[in-house]
A and B are shown apart, each in its own frame.
Chain A
Amino acid sequence: DAKTTQPNSMESNEEEPVHLPCNHSTISGTDYIHWYRQLPSQGPEYVIHGLTSNVNNRMASLAIAEDRKSSTLILHRATLRDAAVYYCPCYNQGGKLIFGQGTELSVKP
C-alpha cells in the first residue's frame, strides 16, 4: 500500500499562518490528495482535496507540488479551534483510506 509521511507535531501562534507538509511520493497518477483533521474526541473530518492544481475552500488552502509527490495544507490564520491531528491519507483503488500518524498541531494563544 502507498503511504504518506508527515511531521509528528507542529506548533503555531494564534492568528498566524500554518503550513502543514505531507510527503506522498508513492501516490498514483489518478488518486486525489485529501486532507482530514481529527479534533479531540471526534472522528476525522474532511478538510480539502485536490488532484493537480492548488485548491482553496473556506477552511484552508491546498498547495500541490508539480510532481505531486508532496502537498502542503495551509491554514491562513490559525485559531485555537484548529488544534487537531491533521492527516493526508493515501487512497488505494476503491477508496480505502490509508492513514499515517498525522501531524498534531498545537495553537498557542
Chain B
Amino acid sequence: DAGVTQSPTHLIKTRGQQVTLRCSPKSGHDTVSWYQQALGQGPQFIFQYYEEEERQRGNFPDRFSGHQFPNYSSELNVNALLLGDSALYLCASSLVPGSLETQYFGPGTRLLVL
C-alpha cells in the first residue's frame, strides 16, 4: 500500500514565479491537507480539501491556492513567490475530516525561492 506521495521532492524558483506542488493521498483517503514548515518550526496549516472543496483555511494569503481532483489527489499553487515562501511543503491525508482521524504525511517538497 503506497503511502502519501508528493512531487517534486525539491524545487528551486525565483521571486515572482509561480509553483505547483502535487500530492497523492494514501489509498482510500479522501481528505487532503497542506502544511508549510519553515526551518526549525512546526508545520503550519495552509488548507484542507474534502470532496473537491476547500473546507478549512489557515492564515495564508490568497497567493496560496489549491485544488482537489475526483481521484482525491491534490495540488498546491503558490503565485508571486517571495523569499519567505522557502520551506518544506507537506501534504497529509486522512479518511475524513475530524479529530479522530490520523493524518498520514508525505515526505514533503522542499521549495527554495531565490
- Please list the residues of chain A having a beta carbon within 8 angstroms of any beta carbon in chain B: 30-32, 34, 36, 41-46, 49, 87, 89, 91-102
Contacts and interface: CB of A to CB of B under 8 A. Distances in A.
A74 B99 CA distance: 22
Task: Report, as a range, how many residues of chain B touch the other chain.
Answer: 20 to 34
Contacts of A49: 102
A92 B108 CA distance: 23
B94 to A, nearest CB: 6
Given A42-B108, A97-B45, A99-B43, 6 more contacts: A32-B99, A34-B102, A93-B99, A96-B48, A97-B33, A99-B42
Contacts of A30: 99
A100 B44 CA distance: 9
Contacts of B41: 101
Contacts of B58: 96
Interface of B: 4, 31, 33, 35, 41-45, 48, 55-56, 58, 90, 92, 94, 96-108
Nearest to A41: B107
B98 A43 contact: no
Contacts of A89: 42
A94 B103 contact: no
Given A43-B107, A45-B105, A46-B103, A95 B97 contact: yes
B20 to A, nearest CB: 19
A91 B45 contact: no
